[in-house]
Amino acid sequence: MSDLRVRFAPSPTGYLHIGGARTALFNYLLARKLGGTFILRIEDTDVERSTQESVDAILQAMDWLGLSYDEGPFYQTERFDLYKEKVQQLLDEGKAYKCYCSADELDTKREAAMARGDKPQYDGTCRDLDPRDDDAPYVIRFKSKKEGVTSFNDRIKGTISFNNQELDDMIIQRTDGTPTYNFVVVIDDAEMGLTLVVRGDDHVNNTPRQIQIYEALGYPVPEFAHVPMILGADKKRLSKRHGATSVMAYRDMGYLPEAMVNYLVRLGWSFGDEEIFSMDDLIEKFTLENVGRSAGVFNPEKLLWLNEHYIKTGDPQRLGELLGEYLTTLGHPSTDGIDLAEVVKTLQDRSKTMVEMAEKAVFYVTEAVEFDQSAADKFLTAEQVPVFEALVAQLEQCSFDAEGVEAAFKTVLEQTGLKFGKVGQPTRVALSGGTSAPGIYEVILVLGRERSIQRLKDAIARIG
């Protein structure tokens, strides 16, 4: 047990995306490795854009990835009283002030400053205004330091410093009385006792402002670790334009959570030349020291490769259960008489995703085999009838196991004088409907004696 306290603090304005998931994963890994506490906090102060559906989607995605939290979820919208209290404290101590500049005025000033080539900072118009209490609309700004330097030692990036002149007086409370992100994040991180804040490096620029607020409020400043961004193939920040960015979309596409976790962690973190990591490996091996400093490009191909790996090496029983779900989605909820774990064994080396596996498994569980037209034309011909009949005869009386089925084929080969290919491929088409399928003996075994024979008979009937 350690006193490490970390958190994942998504804003519920959409599904859990690749980048957020990685941040959550890093936090989770650190907490588990060091026996610390992992807190989940929902940053829903933007009441306009936050939705319960998003919260549910995020929770579901974390659950899918196996990222359990120890405390929370906490909702910021339920903590407004606390924030109000802190704003008042700052106001009372003269560390914050009311600003009556309108949003329009501010926009105008900002544009003017830009046009002049100046920094688009708030000019401090209301900073030293005498207190007045008319009812004109106002926001509350934090009175930041005008001189000196604010710096911190980032656990990933090293020391980062900002001239305080670069920091203007940011708004901590909106006209409507709600607090803003940069303010509440400090209060919550402090009140929740965080010792380390691991987040995306798009927050680096916010950090000095936040540090000043910690200090103004008398809170200890936690450590920070800013994780590099994830980019798309064009090196632009990852977005929907780059394809699926929702974690759950990958589940729907047939990805396994362990593949996603493994991929995500390797994007930015490494452990020598190793590529494959289970969650337990990661909890043991993950360290911030081995997280890179530069942004990385999301590479779907490698994710696919990892998925392929985990499918190939996965437990057939478990994969079989998942396969059932994907088959249901494909419209084949009934798998009566077919052992899906056995199906999995025949398809593990041939599927990159569970969806692909399900598509390939359909012929096993379907009532009516769907024939590939050209395959049927080519292999289900009149001359096959006697061959199929001979095979049926053998299958009816052979011992139904790998050796027995193989012997059955051998006998047919001898009887007909044909080479394996001449018997195997037509049989494959008769049983599966197409020319590409698992080994023919495996298919027969998984299908079962009865069903295999029936399909051969159906093929004979089909040929006419």
Partner RNA sequence: GCGCUCAUCGUCUAGCCUGGUCCAGGACACCGCCCUUUCACGGCGGCGACAGGGGUUCGAAUCCCCUUGGGCGUACCA
- By annotation, the residues acting in catalysis are 240
Nearer to RNA by Cβ, of 108 and 334: the residue is: 108
Among positions 165-194, residues that touch RNA (CB under 7 A) are 166, 171, 174-176, 180-182
Asked if 410 touches RNA (CB under 7 A), the answer is no
Q: Please report whether residue 425 would count as binding RNA according to CB under 7 A.
A: yes
Smallest distance, Å, CB 34 to RNA? 21
Taking CB under 7 A as the criterion, the residue among 3, 56, 78, 202 binding RNA is: 202
Angle between helices 420-432 and 385-397 (to 10 degrees): 80
Residue 50, classed as helix, strand or coil, is: coil
Long-range contacts of 203-209 (CB under 8 A, 24+ apart): 204/154, 204/157, 204/160, 206/182, 207/152, 207/160, 208/150, 208/151, 208/152, 208/162, 208/164, 208/167, 209/142, 209/144, 209/167, 209/170, 209/182
Q: Which of 84, 350, 449, 457 binds RNA (CB under 7 A)?
A: 350
Q: Does 400 bind RNA (CB under 7 A)?
A: no
Q: Does 24 bind RNA (CB under 7 A)?
A: no
- Candidates 188, 438, 446, 447: give the one binding RNA (CB under 7 A): 438
How many residues belong to the site for RNA (CB under 7 A)?
A: 81
164 binds RNA (CB under 7 A): no
Q: How far is 318 from 329, CA to CA, in rounded Å?
A: 17
Of the candidate residues 162, 277, 310, 364, the single one contacting RNA (CB under 7 A): 162
Distance in Å, CB of 75 to RNA, minimum: 11
Among 297, 330, 341, 385, binds RNA (CB under 7 A): 297
Nearest-angstrom CA–CA distance, 195 and 209: 18
Spatial distance between the Cα atoms of 120 and 99, rounded to a whole number of angstroms: 17
CA 207 → CA 258, 346, 355, 429, distances in Å? 33, 53, 43, 64
Task: Kindly state the smallest distance separating residue 231's Cβ from RNA, in Å.
Answer: 6
Query: How far apart are CB 83 and RNA at their closest, in Å?
Result: 11
Q: Which stretch binds RNA (CB under 7 A): 188-196, 280-288, 433-441, 452-460?
A: 433-441
Give me the phi and psi of 120, to 5 degrees please: -80, 65
Stretch that binds RNA, among 53-61, 66-74, 124-132, 431-439 (CB under 7 A): 431-439
User: Would you say 295 or 362 has its CB closer to RNA?
Assistant: 295
In terms of Cα–Cα distance, which of 449, 446, 451 is closest to 341?
Answer: 446
Binding residue (CB under 7 A) for RNA from 241, 293, 410, 462: 293
Shortest distance in whole angstroms from residue 379 CB to RNA: 10
Of 419 and 461, the one with the shorter C-beta distance to RNA is: 419
As a whole number of angstroms, the distance between CA 45 and CA 461 comes to 68
Out of 46, 339, 359, 389, the only residue in the binding site for RNA (CB under 7 A) is 46
Candidate residues 161, 331, 336, 373; the one interacting with RNA per rule CB under 7 A: 161
CB of 317 to RNA, least distance (A): 20
> Are the CB atoms for 344 and 316 separated by under 8 Å?
yes
Nearest approach, Cβ of residue 190 and RNA (Å) = 16
If we measure between CA atoms, which residue out of 43, 37, 28 comes closest to residue 194?
Answer: 37
Select 275 or 342, whichever has its Cβ closest to RNA.
275
Q: How far is the CB of 215 from RNA (least distance, A)?
A: 19
Residue 339 backbone class (left: φ over 0; alpha: ψ -120 to 50; beta: rest): beta
Contact 292, 265 (CB under 8 A): no
**What residues numbered 242-271 form the site for RNA, per CB under 7 A?**
266-270
Site string for RNA, 221-240 (x = CB under 7 A): -------xx-x---xxx---
Q: How far is CA 447 from CA 180, 214, 335, 438, in A?
A: 62, 67, 11, 12
- Note whether 287 binds RNA by CB under 7 A: no
Instruction: Verify binding: residue 66, RNA, rule CB under 7 A.
Output: no
CA torsion, points 93, 197, 68, 238, in degrees to nearest 10?
120
Q: Write out the binding residues for RNA, residues 82-101 only, by CB under 7 A.
A: 101
Contact pick of 66, 243, 333, 439 for RNA (by CB under 7 A) = 439
Binding of RNA by 294 (CB under 7 A):
yes
- State which residue, 13 or 334, has the beta carbon closest to RNA: 13
Task: Walk across the sheet containing 5-8 and list its strands.
Answer: 5-8, 37-42, 71-75
Interface stretch with RNA, choices 60-68, 79-87, 195-203, 382-390 (CB under 7 A):
195-203
DSSP letter string, 355-423:
HHHHHHHHHHH-SSPPPPHHHHHHHS-GGGHHHHHHHHHHHHHS-SSHHHHHHHHHHHHHHHT--HHHH
For residue 58, what are the β-bridge partners?
A: none
**DSSP annotation string for 254-282:** T--HHHHHHHHHHTTB--TT-----HHHH
Residue with smaller CB distance to RNA, 174 or 332 = 174
Tokens found for residue 185: 């994040």
Binding mask 102-121 for RNA (x = CB under 7 A): xx--x---x---x--x-xxx
